Chain A
């Protein structure tokens, strides 16, 4: 084998190993392997309080990820937070009286939107709004209510 050929093989192996490493970073380490490429439709949900919900937080139904939060903004007219949920296109046919609530996963408190399907024949489409929502639980408010309840009990 000539020297040049050896160099060619070594450099080829180096380049191949480098690209395999990049491919591995894409598929195994980052979310590119699991990301949904089939497109999505947008559904609005208004919450009194979104707690720690963030853009890119997952949207789940029965624990399965069916979408991601794509945008969050504050509606100045009705003083509520609007979360725009991007639901993957293959999960169409969600009833339009679906119940959206903000839940917490694990102890570290990553928050996500959970959808409970209703029983309506009408389905949610692009741009439609989820009417019934439940805000995130804010720990201080719960503790406050608890203490208030205890105080009431004591007064009676």
Chain B
């Protein structure tokens, strides 16, 4: 009997949390007109969410591309198909690795910082303070972060993919002797703008919404103590990563048949 009650309590609290998250999303979206009047807030968030994440995304992109070049060449050369190395590197980056790895890095670098910041704002009663000054904290604090995340993610993923393609190029063409012209020509003939690149961009926009939403919600919902903030930060990274990986499977199944 007890476990049944536990299960019911868990289910109820889960659906209540989903509902609160949806209401928070609605509240943030209602803050959009106010944000248009204060683009400065967005600018500051783009700096902390986007610009400061560039370095880790760039470094990871180059190395992921180089590993793809190395591994791809090792496997493809067994079949004498080194010519398709460019296609392999570009397709895996643009379709899967670009959006997914960028989202995971984003959750670790920007998402955790975001929920810690919002959680501390809540713990130190800054959000209540804003409310006391008749400033809507959801519109003023949360909406710019959400929009900055949605704008940054596709741009970061595109940078990741491009640097990865050059990483693969460096290893494949520069070190392992794949023909330069073949590398690019095969890539261009096989990678489709609509089917591959644009679907990757759509994926990263979805990941941008989900990761930022989770980060903001965890920060906003946290228990206002130092332990609560630390737990919210951990949860942000874990939930974002799981959501990204799960959604990636669903999106891939829907997009690439």
The chain A residues found within 8 Å of chain B, CB to CB, are 4, 7-8, 10-11, 13-15, 17-19, 21-22, 24-26, 28-35, 106-108
CB-defined interface of B11-54 with A at 8 Å, one 1/0 digit per residue?
00000000000000000000000000000100110110011001
**A108-B191 contact given A11-B51, A25-B161, A28-B184, CB 8 Å threshold:** no
Cβ-defined contact, B155 with A19, below 8 A: yes
18 contacts between A and B (CB under 8 A): A8-B43, A10-B51, A11-B50, A14-B46, A14-B50, A14-B51, A17-B159, A18-B158, A21-B158, A21-B162, A22-B158, A24-B162, A29-B90, A29-B197, A30-B191, A31-B191, A31-B193, A32-B193
Quick one: which of B44, B184, B189 has the most chain A CB within 10 A?
A: B189
Cβ-defined contact, B158 with A29, below 8 A: no
Interface residues in B37-93 by Cβ distance below 8 A to A read: 40, 43-44, 46-47, 50-51, 54, 80-81, 83-84, 90
Please, how many angstroms separate the alpha-carbon atoms of A12 and B54 in the complex?
A: 13
Nearest-CB residue, chain A, relative to B91 = A29
CB-defined interface of B122-166 with A at 8 Å, one 1/0 digit per residue?
000000000000000000000000000001101110110110010
Chain B residues near A28 (CB-CB < 8 A)? 184, 188
**A11-B43 contact given A25-B158, A29-B90, A32-B193, CB 8 Å threshold:** yes
Cβ-defined contact, B192 with A31, below 8 A: yes
Chain B residues near A7 (CB-CB < 8 A)? 43-44, 47
**A10-B47 contact given A26-B193, A108-B81, CB 8 Å threshold:** yes
B187 within 8 A of A: yes
Cβ-defined contact, A25 with B50, below 8 A: no
Please, how many angstroms separate the alpha-carbon atoms of A12 and B90 in the complex?
A: 27
B96 within 8 A of A: no
CB distance from A25 to the nearest CB of B (A): 5
Summarize A's interface: helix, strand, loop or mixed.
helix
Cβ-defined contact, A30 with B188, below 8 A: yes
Please, how many angstroms separate the alpha-carbon atoms of A109 and B152 in the complex?
A: 41
A sample of 4 more A-B contacts (CB under 8 A), given A25-B158, A30-B192, is A7-B47, A25-B94, A26-B197, A106-B83
Chain A residues near B51 (CB-CB < 8 A)? 10-11, 13-14
CB distance from B239 to the nearest CB of A (A): 26
Chain A residues near B83 (CB-CB < 8 A)? 106
Cβ-defined contact, B197 with A18, below 8 A: no
Please, how many angstroms separate the alpha-carbon atoms of A21 and B192 in the complex?
A: 16
Contact residue among B50, B90, B165, B188 (Cβ-Cβ distance under 8 Å from A34): B188
Contact residue among A15, A24, A106 (Cβ-Cβ distance under 8 Å from B155): A15
Cβ-defined contact, B188 with A33, below 8 A: yes
Please, how many angstroms separate the alpha-carbon atoms of A34 and B188 in the complex?
A: 8
Cβ-defined contact, B191 with A11, below 8 A: no
Chain B residues near A17 (CB-CB < 8 A)? 54, 155, 159
Cβ-defined contact, B155 with A25, below 8 A: no
Cβ-defined contact, B196 with A30, below 8 A: yes
Please, how many angstroms separate the alpha-carbon atoms of A107 and B80 in the complex?
A: 9
